[in-house]
């Protein structure tokens, strides 16, 4: 899914660069726009690398929460028995 989004984003960057050159007729503005688009593409790629890590962390947090709840229930049952 993310790879498809990256390719769509890259095509959008190329089209935007061509249109901005036709509209602005100023090469400096086109270069600045292309640099900003490249930065967005790099940030998107970094986000793609970080997403699996955050999913793993959230799964581990849920597991820890379940273990903590089990410990609390066990302790409360022991206190109730006493």
Query: Which residues contact residue 20 at a Cβ distance below 8 angstroms, ignoring those fewer than 6 apart?
Result: 29, 30, 33
Predicted pLDDT of residue 42: 78
Number of domains in the chain: 1
| pLDDT at residue 2 greater than cutoff 60 | no
Predicted pLDDT of residue 13: 74
- Over residues 6-42, the pLDDT tens digits come to 677 777 777 777 777 777 666 776 677 777 777 877 7
Domain interval for residue 21: 2-81
Q: At what angle do helices 27-81 and 2-24 cross, to 10 degrees?
A: 150
């Amino acid at each position: 899914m993310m790879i498809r989004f990256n390719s769509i984003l890259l095509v959008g960057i190329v089209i935007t660069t061509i249109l901005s050159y036709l509209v602005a007729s100023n090469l400096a503005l086109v270069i600045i726009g292309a640099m900003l688009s490249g930065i967005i593409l790099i940030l998107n790629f970094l986000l793609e690398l970080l997403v699996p890590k955050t999913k793993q962390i959230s799964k581990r947090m849920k597991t820890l929460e379940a273990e903590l709840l089990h410990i609390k229930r066990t302790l409360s049952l022991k206190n109730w028995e006493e």
